[in-house]
Amino acid sequence: METFNFRSFRKDDIKVMRKVFNAAFEDYLVPIWLSEADFKRKLIDKTNISFKYSVGSYYDNQLVGFLFQTIEKYQNQKTAYNGGTGVIPTFRGNQLTYHMYQHIIPILIHKEVENCVLEVISNNKPAIRSYEKVGFHKSKFFHCLKLDMESSYLKNAPRTGFRVIEPRKPKWDVYESFSDYDTSFLDTFIMLRKNRKSETILEAYDGDDLVGSIIYNKKMGRVGNIGVHKKHRGMGIGTFLLKRMHADCRNKPIYILNVNERSYNLLNFFLRLGFKNDIDQFELKLKLSNR
């Protein structure tokens, strides 16, 4: 292995972080290129990465690899979430993912972090092997859904007698009571609250009673959470909320990422509306308490 240095990032690293991110993902299974605004929206705002607990790989003082992380409670445990790992093509094969984790794990343990988690596309076998070498194991299986154009079912969904408003003050506890499915790290209510300025919330009312809600990122066309009161399910409320979201996003594609394979009713609901399941992901987990 050639000589590499590893260090945490600083806020003034953000321009080179974006440059190397784009270089690392230009030949990815799903190629990614982010503008300055998109990079800030996706990684700084949505993922809320911590510069202090993220790691860069440097060769000859040049950034060639990265591990972007944030730390928050997930399933009641202090967790370091990997929001993106990449190495530019000419420096692959040097086990930089492994070495970046070896650099940061003692720091995370000192901060009393209990787990590391991440998501990886299910057929990206090289990446999975790389993480398994660190000690990660598969913990969940997620379906990623996309609606390219308004489905006939969604387009022709009948109007309901329910009233939909955009609230001035979110009712987070109520929204959470509507959700009885297991989410990924980024779609926990803790993370949605942190990204509140980028999230739109719609509420559905039956008279004066709040009976449904949807939380979404309008710029990204991404649903963060949708929920309906148990006694009001099957009445078209969720469909109507998605229809309102789709119109608000100017009929751009809608994305619903990381639907747990065990959330059968939720998955079937989206598939009936015309969403397509083109990509699946594993959640990988590393228990730091075992080290």
pLDDT per residue as tens digits for the range 254-276? 999 999 999 999 999 999 998 99
Pairing relationship of beta strands 115-121 and 77-87 according to DSSP bridges: parallel
* Residue 247 reports pLDDT greater than 90: no
Set out the domains of the chain in order of their start, with CATH numbers: 5-113 (3.40.630.30), 145-281 (3.40.630.30)
The CA distance from 246 to 214, in Å, is 12
Confidence of residue 2 (pLDDT cuts 50, 70, 90): confident
* Residue 73 reports pLDDT greater than 80: yes
- Cβ atoms of 189 and 211 within 8 Å: the answer is no
pLDDT value, residue 150: 61
pLDDT value, residue 151: 64
Report the chain's mean pLDDT, rounded to a whole number. 93
pLDDT tens-digit profile of 106-128? 999 999 999 999 999 999 999 99
Q: What is the pTM of this model?
A: 0.93
* Eight-state DSSP code of residue 123: T
pLDDT value, residue 173: 97
* Residue 152 reports pLDDT greater than 70: no
* Residue 155 reports pLDDT greater than 80: no
pLDDT tens-digit profile of 173-223? 999 999 988 999 999 999 999 999 999 999 999 999 999 999 999 989 999
Residue bearing the bigger pLDDT, 153 or 166: 166
The CA distance from 94 to 198, in Å, is 37
* Residue 165 reports pLDDT greater than 90: yes
What residue has token string 């993480």?
131
